[in-house]
Structure 1
Amino acid sequence: MSLSDTLAFLRAWLRDPRSIGAVAPSGPALTRLMTAHIGQLDGPVIELGPGTGVFTRALLEGGLPIDRLALIEADPHFADALARRYPQARVLSMDAAQLGQTHPLFGEERACAIISGLPLLSMPTEKVIAILQGAFDQQLHADGVFYQFTYGPRCPLSDSTLQQLDLVAVRVGSALLNLPPASVYRFSRRPQARFVA
């Protein structure tokens, strides 16, 4: 992580702490945990809230072709920097809650995974539901998965939200060496919901 990326992250946090959710970019342990399973999947990937691109770099280093990656970033400063750094990637400066109103980012081929760096715990429940519903209804294929990290002690989605969205959550693991320590969850459709998606 370069000093300029760290400073950019800190400036973004100072502008709007609730939209960033941390005072430093994700560390190597969390980055590995968030991106470890992507290479085993077949299809394009969407990253929500890439910020300075910590997970982006790991995805590309793991072999994901850059033209199979879409970056959704609400902060215009981060979005501009990502577009300059990764001109072959699809960089959209937009709120992730708009995913349901956006055409599928990869056309007929839906994404196999979404990697989220969004601070779901600091967002209103309605916005969280809009993000997840848009992701699963409009952007992911039937077996698509959604990876989310959290600094909280429990799953960032409540049982009622999971039930409402017909999703199941699996805790992938913890990155205790991250600052602060974090856990990663994988969300997917309930088996019976896959047949109607």
Structure 2
Amino acid sequence: MTGGNGALQPESDLALFRRRLLRNPRQVSAIAPSSRTLARAMTLGIGPGSGQVVEFGPGTGRFTEALLARGLPPEKLTLFELDDEFVPYLRRKFPGVTVHQAGAETAARLIRGKVCAVISGLPLLSMPDEIREAIVTAAFDILAPRGSYVQFTYGQRPPLPPGLIAELGLKVNRGHKIWANLPPARVYRFRKA
């Protein structure tokens, strides 16, 4: 895509999102990028003094932008993204942030030490049970004892089934409905009880 002066212009988040949605709707699994309002709700409580943060399924980086806007240093942020077009886009857009082209379930093998938060934009409810369980287990394998796993959902119920919540011994904090998102979403925070 070229601009008025013939220079190559970067592709917009929305254009890339739409193109990837049309090519792989099951993997993208959303009808629009997350709103800035949802991104602020997902990243609440994270700031310059926070420890390491991991993001699962950043897509075009809306939550990544919010994390960095809150003052989290880029070197304290690691992203896990599978999409072969989102990965180079994220690397260009967020210099200094570590981007792994790998599934979230591999996080425990790639992260050294413990992290203060895992922020997830993954469509957990549309995944097979075994993949969802592997992802959430990996998140809690890398979380510090007081760390939180933050996940949003469009549905009426928590994005984790009651059996998995009980099995992992989790405490659930159900956040407010974010109406300024398409579709409206609710943020949940999970911690070890």
Whether the 8 Å CA contact 1:9–1:23 is kept in 2: the answer is no
What stretches of structure 2 of length at least 5 have no aligned partner?
Answer: 1-9
Q: After the TM superposition, which of the residue ranges 145-154 and 83-92 deviates more from structure 2?
A: 83-92
Distance 1:40 1:60, change over 3 A: closer
Asked if 1:82 corresponds to 2:90, the answer is: yes
**Structure-2 residue corresponding to 1:57:** 65
- Correspondences of 1:89-108 after superposition (within 5 Å): 89-100=97-108, 102-103=109-110, 105=111, 107-108=112-113
**CA-to-aligned-CA distance 1:80-108 (integer Å, 9 cap, x gap):** 111112231110001112224x14x2x23
Contact preservation (8 Å) 2:177, 2:186: yes
Q: How does 1:144-159 map to 2 (within 5 A)?
A: 144-159=147-162
Checking the alignment, whether the CA contact within 8 Å between 2:42 and 2:63 is kept in structure 1 is: yes
Q: Describe the shift of the 1:180–1:55 C-alpha distance in structure 2 as closer, same or farther (beyond 3 A).
A: same
Cα distance, 1:3 vs structure 2 = 7.1
2:137 corresponds in structure 1 to 133
What secondary structure sits across from 1:38 in the alignment?
A: coil
**Percent identical residues:** 46
CA displacement 1:54-88 (0-9 Å, x = unmatched): 11111111100000000110111101111112231
Q: Residue by residue, what CA displacement relative to the aligned partner does 1:114-170 show, whole Å, maximum 9, x if unpaired?
A: 110000010011111100111112x11111101001001110111111112222221
Partner of 1:193: none
TM-score between the two structures when normalised by the length of structure 2 = 0.90
Aligned to 1:168: 171
Residue 35 of structure 1 deviates from its aligned partner by: 1.1
1:122 counterpart (99, 119, 126): 126
What RMSD in Å do the two structures reach over aligned CA positions?
1.6
**Could you state the TM-score of these two structures normalised by the residue count of structure 1?**
0.88
SS for the counterpart of 2:65 is: helix
Equivalent residue pairs, number: 184
1:188 aligned residue? 191
Residue aligned with 2:17, SS: helix
CA distance in 2, matches of 1:11, 1:124: 25
Q: CA contact under 8 A between 1:42 and 1:112: conserved in structure 2?
A: yes
SS at 1:37's partner residue?
Answer: coil
Q: Name whichever structure is richer in helix by fraction.
A: 1
Deviation at 1:32, TM superposition (A): 1.3
Partner SS state of residue 20, structure 2: helix
Match of 1:72 among 61, 66, 80: 80
